[in-house]
Structure 1
């Protein structure tokens, strides 16, 4: 009579067997042994068939516990990819040896299929059969957390800790409960407990860094992310959150490096989107444009509209007519939402009549109410801007573009020298390092470039941001250049806002560029200066320059009054002149 099974018993090393919860003599079917010998691997299905056969023919229960364990392993493996197969293994485990584990894993299955009340019942059944199994309390806590029943989640996490003081995960989840409810101090305490238990526990570092971002302790966030990245240099989320803190500190080039690494590790739409914004911040518009296209290709339903709007704006700035109208015409229902971009695109392209048609709709929505008058008299306004441009700076800028239309900073430095300009900022244009500058030297190059851009929205964005990057490299200079740009656009396209309204409209954008600079901006009321004070003081930092700008926005000065006055600092004179020239 032919035997039902031909079993070979493989001798395993004791340490290996203990690590993988296998018997020292592992049963394997003969036909499976021949297959495994060719690959030198023992996959789960081969282990299961061998254990099933040995359990069936064995006269004792030696192999039963191993078999049940691997049924549960097969259940866990299939829970994410084949629920039918997962349930099959779960029921096999129950048939082989029924205990509290069945209810625990069945609860996970029920949770997966959204039967949350039944899942809760099964977890509690598991606990009633074995009150010393910490994972039942932990997973029941997770179920409550996901249902936002935070007090019960906390209770079950704490019970898991009471059962097993060495169990790290419940401490992590208690921190999540506190963080979810804005109690960051308590959350940090539990996260530090996690690190006391395991100094290499990456999720705790991750969460501490995120909390520091939320409570605006960006230097601490950077420090914690750097520690975590030394332990795990392949974690894309660490790089992503690290970049956020770097950006808030004005370290945009370092933020770009972190986001590039995150995108390399995981090609997520939101990572490419943030990377595009950072490229835009430092004036790398071509990179920003191409990166946002990648984000749009990968966009999930959740993020698609945000990325579409950003890509529309970049298409406007880059004056890419084909892509702009492709995006604009894709959704008829949303066309009116994009009308502002359409108007700006037409205006930047010189299509004044089309821009005026778009304005008629926007005006009915209460937007751009002053712009129709300016467009109807556009030649007069452009003439005013051009009349007040420094001709030597204009000449230097125009002669500094290469054949591809890219501004070359070294060439600009040479042209400025030829036109009798000097100062430390001329050397800054030639520098290859990216160290942030602390003074707004050379700001007249940017103010004049903005005047030259006229009513071309895209050009004003490109030229001011690129020059800010070449002059001031990074940090506060990037934020200050953005404020100059937004003041210009507010005066040319907007409603000539009061300081209060301007700050309200601008501060969130500036927070993304430099939290420190945004804080100065938010305190604008505390440093208004009168004209006599502005005549006497000197600008020693970008913060000083911001205070001068904000003060100048409150003063009713004439251009002649500024030109005829003696200032202790020419930078103050230039900022006030700029404000008056664009005061339409």
Structure 2
């Protein structure tokens, strides 16, 4: 039987005007817009077996290859090969070589795949997809220059086909030419703003270039186009952390865990994010789950580290058993904790604050609700007084907080772990700013550095601290790392006043690097800088307020 089709509909579906259909298949045709592929193939096979008409032969070959595509999409290689051979018995044109090549690719038989694809191209040099697939094989073989050449040919032949442009970027990325890769991803994204993969790959390249603002935009666009893109969402959490947007990263982690709650790497990263925000108990719970699912060395080490913040004695026991690649780091930390002789001395400028804050500390833990009454009343302190913790990122970089954070650190300095915990929780509760969090961690590390070494060495401090700071706020960490390279005048710093906490801290590092005298500190115009300098000098044992 023949199913007559309108010319427009036949052209749209690439079907003959009179479609042969087996009588037993008529019931399967509920809608001419959705004629099952198997029905079309069976009808065409029946017609050609009788008529041997070249007209129907061309359609039959076409739909054999449609069956091949369908089978390849579900990795049914046996069916795919069956239909390729059926088509080949009728006519072995460039399509036969192309699909044989794809089957070999699926089987990871790349040498045979390359032979087939080169044969395809020799028969049809203008077949863009063959150049693209050959490029993929060459890229897999690390023959990047040749792969780029094939991708370029594919794009030249079909400039609406942007996937080769992205793959050229991938080649340059694997070659270490990240900036060039970024340019190709950008081209693909600009040509088609809805091309999800281009934005996703652009985000990866921008992360590698430490262009985190651009990476954030790229990943967010990729996720707008495909909300199920797990890799881009996870990459975005890394980007947001470098930008100091830790609460936003936390929300993404929670969404990812709804569908991937047994992914140990995801649980590990989520736990580290929780730690940065001061949620130590929950961080340990998540890391314990990760360690139940995986014994990867980095997970074993991070479990020990997070346990330290919840149960210091148990944490030290775990640190003593970490895998070999983390042993030196773990032993260094253990020795440091054992050598700590707190508490730190408070200079006069923070004595009153320290006295008030100590009343808010119960068995080492800072009571944030009590602490909120030490601070001036505002919207944020009111929320904390009522038992609420605002869970959103703020853009705060305020020097007026530094004396208070110094006082919290000194008040909690009986134990360095507790000092970090209390300062972190204070910043998160009352600022929720990635910049302030990074500055606070830098301040704690500074106090720890001068306490243990009895002095200050800028190069040593930067080397020991910058890596950790990058996890809190990359731009601030970058500025800290460059402090030693900058030229400055102490007179110039002495005459300045600082409104941002980050600039105030950088100034503190510069002042300390020249071993200032108490007299030089007393001439400083900025009261916050003067107070910070005096307290660091007190911790170093260089001076006391009684000498001032």
Alpha-carbon distance between aligned partners in 1 of 2:3 and 2:292, rounded to the nearest angstrom: 51
Q: 2:200 aligns with which of 194, 199, 206?
A: 206
Task: Give how far 1:521 is off.
Answer: 0.9
Matches within 5 A, 1:266-415: 269-293=264-288, 295=290, 304-319=296-311, 335-337=323-325, 339=327, 362=331, 367=332, 371=336, 375=339, 381-382=341-342, 390=351, 393=354, 395-396=356-357, 398-399=359-360, 409-414=368-373
Q: 1:60 aligns with which of 50, 53, 59?
A: 53
Per-residue displacement from partner, 1:452-477 (whole Å, max 9, x unpaired)? Answer: 44464542332222112223321311
Q: 1:523 aligns with which of 482, 489, 500?
A: 482
Q: 1:111 aligns with which of 105, 109, 121?
A: 105
| Runs of at least 5 residues in structure 1 that lack an aligned partner in the other structure | 1-7, 344-361
Q: 2:464 aligns with which of 481, 498, 505?
A: 505
Alpha-carbon distance between aligned partners in 1 of 2:221 and 2:104, rounded to the nearest angstrom: 39
Say if 1:249 and 1:335 are closer, same or farther in 2 by CA, change over 3 A: closer
Say if 1:29 and 1:579 are closer, same or farther in 2 by CA, change over 3 A: farther
- Asked if structure 2 preserves the Cα contact closer than 8 Å seen for 1:529 and 1:551, the reply is no
The answer to which of 150-159 and 207-216 deviates more is 207-216
Say if 1:250 and 1:384 are closer, same or farther in 2 by CA, change over 3 A: closer
Matches within 5 A, 1:131-146: 131-146=125-140
- Asked if structure 1 preserves the Cα contact closer than 8 Å seen for 2:204 and 2:215, the reply is yes
Matches within 5 A, 1:471-482: 471-482=430-441
Q: 2:505 aligns with which of 534, 537, 546?
A: 546
Per-residue displacement from partner, 1:218-240 (whole Å, max 9, x unpaired)? Answer: 33333444444444444344434
Specify the alignment match of 1:347 in structure 2: none
TM-score by length of 2: 0.79
TM-score by length of 1: 0.75
- Asked if structure 2 preserves the Cα contact closer than 8 Å seen for 1:94 and 1:102, the reply is yes
Number of aligned residue pairs = 532
Task: Give how far 1:140 is off.
Answer: 0.9
Specify the alignment match of 2:243 in structure 1: 249
Task: Give how far 1:47 is off.
Answer: 5.1
Specify the alignment match of 1:4 in structure 2: none
SS of residue in 1 equivalent to 2:92: coil
SS of residue in 2 equivalent to 1:154: helix
SS of residue in 2 equivalent to 1:306: helix
Specify the alignment match of 2:544 in structure 1: none
Q: 1:459 aligns with which of 414, 418, 425?
A: 418
The answer to which of 65-74 and 541-550 deviates more is 65-74
- Asked if structure 2 preserves the Cα contact closer than 8 Å seen for 1:528 and 1:550, the reply is no
Per-residue displacement from partner, 1:478-522 (whole Å, max 9, x unpaired)? Answer: 110121232344456789772102212322332333232123212
Say if 1:99 and 1:513 are closer, same or farther in 2 by CA, change over 3 A: same
Q: 1:93 aligns with which of 78, 87, 90?
A: 87
Alpha-carbon distance between aligned partners in 1 of 2:503 and 2:480, rounded to the nearest angstrom: 11
Alpha-carbon distance between aligned partners in 1 of 2:399 and 2:307, rounded to the nearest angstrom: 30
- Asked if structure 2 preserves the Cα contact closer than 8 Å seen for 1:425 and 1:442, the reply is no
Say if 1:69 and 1:537 are closer, same or farther in 2 by CA, change over 3 A: same
Task: Give how far 1:116 is off.
Answer: 2.1
Specify the alignment match of 1:354 in structure 2: none
Alpha-carbon distance between aligned partners in 1 of 2:51 and 2:252, rounded to the nearest angstrom: 58
Alpha-carbon distance between aligned partners in 2 of 1:528 and 1:232, rounded to the nearest angstrom: 49
Per-residue displacement from partner, 1:318-337 (whole Å, max 9, x unpaired)? Answer: 22888997x779xx8x5455
Specify the alignment match of 1:166 in structure 2: 160
| Runs of at least 5 residues in structure 2 that lack an aligned partner in the other structure | 542-548
Q: 1:72 aligns with which of 65, 69, 75?
A: 65
Specify the alignment match of 1:359 in structure 2: none
SS of residue in 1 equivalent to 2:75: coil
Task: Give how far 1:54 is off.
Answer: 4.3
Say if 1:227 and 1:84 are closer, same or farther in 2 by CA, change over 3 A: closer
SS of residue in 2 equivalent to 1:539: coil
Alpha-carbon distance between aligned partners in 1 of 2:152 and 2:30, rounded to the nearest angstrom: 48
- Asked if structure 1 preserves the Cα contact closer than 8 Å seen for 2:401 and 2:501, the reply is no
Specify the alignment match of 2:545 in structure 1: none
